[in-house]
């Protein structure tokens, strides 16, 4: 607790003209600087062509961590931690997202010569398995100095056309859980769904099955 009272020792110092030593707070400058190479020349070249191709059809997000895209949907705490660690330090070069909900639509990887190494090939195989398991398309392009619109169109058209925005019965945020009789399994993440009742909106009062992993998984099943 700080006080302006110098106390006995302070009085003696003042009596003899001795100034008490003040605490010196050293300001430590953190060792960070902004990177000028956030995107490599090849990545920047690809990004500019990708912008022209995408237009307003999707949002382009560069260098997104896999942990921000995916979540571990089952297992105990130790198992979840293990699988989270497998993706926490990996990223995808570009991620296309819905303009309405920012829901991931498609991942994009640029493969340079380093992807020919054994360790990178093993890494790429694992990343592809993650995308495939989560049913999210992953498109690969060979890294080069320039790209054409036709290069992108050939591989990305199917991914964009195949994206279907979910139309849930209502926001699970505005719902309450009810008796969970014969709840189905979530088709998206495999969790046992729970019965909920919509509390707001046009579907107020209607029952539906919602995923317990909400909001990470927004899968719903209508109850007729």
The CA–CA distances, whole Å, from 118 to 121, 124, 125 equal 5, 10, 11
pLDDT, average across residues 19-25: 67
pLDDT digits (tens, 9 = 90+) for 64-96: 999 999 999 888 999 999 999 999 999 999 999
Domain boundaries, the chain: 41-161, 172-222
Sort residue 135 into left (φ over 0), alpha (ψ -120 to 50) or beta.
left
| Residue 68 DSSP one-character state | H
Residue of 23 and 5 predicted with greater confidence:
23
pLDDT, average across residues 201-218: 80
Percentage with pLDDT > 70 across the chain: 82
Which residue in the block uniquely carries the two structure tokens 């990545």? 43
Q: How far apart are CA 150 and CA 165, in angstroms?
A: 26
pTM, 2 dp: 0.71
- Flag whether pLDDT at 36 surpasses 80: yes
pLDDT band per the 50, 70, 90 thresholds, residue 166: very low
CB-count exposure of residue 83 (10 Å: 0-12, 13-18, 19+): middle
- Flag whether pLDDT at 7 surpasses 70: no
The third-level CATH classification (topology) of the domain covering 41-161 is tt1808, chain A (3.90.1570)
pLDDT band per the 50, 70, 90 thresholds, residue 176: low
pLDDT band per the 50, 70, 90 thresholds, residue 141: very high
């Amino acid at each position: 607790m700080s006080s302006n009272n110098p106390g006995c020792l302070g009085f003696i110092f003042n009596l003899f003209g001795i100034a008490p030593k003040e605490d010196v707070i050293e300001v430590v400058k953190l060792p960070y600087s902004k990177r000028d190479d956030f995107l490599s020349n090849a990545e920047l070249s690809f990004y500019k062509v990708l912008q022209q191709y995408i237009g307003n059809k999707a949002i382009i997000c560069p260098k997104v961590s896999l942990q921000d895209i995916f979540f571990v949907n089952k297992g105990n705490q130790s198992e979840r931690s293990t699988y989270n660690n497998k993706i926490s330090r990996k990223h995808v070069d570009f991620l296309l997202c819905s303009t309405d909900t920012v829901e991931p639509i498609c991942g994009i990887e640029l493969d340079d010569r380093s992807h020919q190494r054994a360790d990178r090939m093993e890494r790429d195989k694992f990343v592809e398995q993650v995308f495939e398991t989560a049913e999210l398309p992953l498109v690969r392009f060979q890294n080069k100095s320039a790209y054409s619109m036709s290069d992108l169109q050939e591989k990305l058209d199917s991914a964009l056309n195949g994206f279907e925005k979910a139309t849930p019965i209502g926001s699970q945020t505005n719902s309450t859980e009810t008796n969970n009789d014969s709840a189905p399994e979530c088709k998206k993440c495999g969790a046992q769904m729970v019965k909920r009742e919509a509390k707001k909106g046009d579907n107020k009062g209607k029952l539906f099955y919602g995923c317990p992993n909400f909001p990470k998984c927004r899968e719903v099943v209508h109850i007729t």
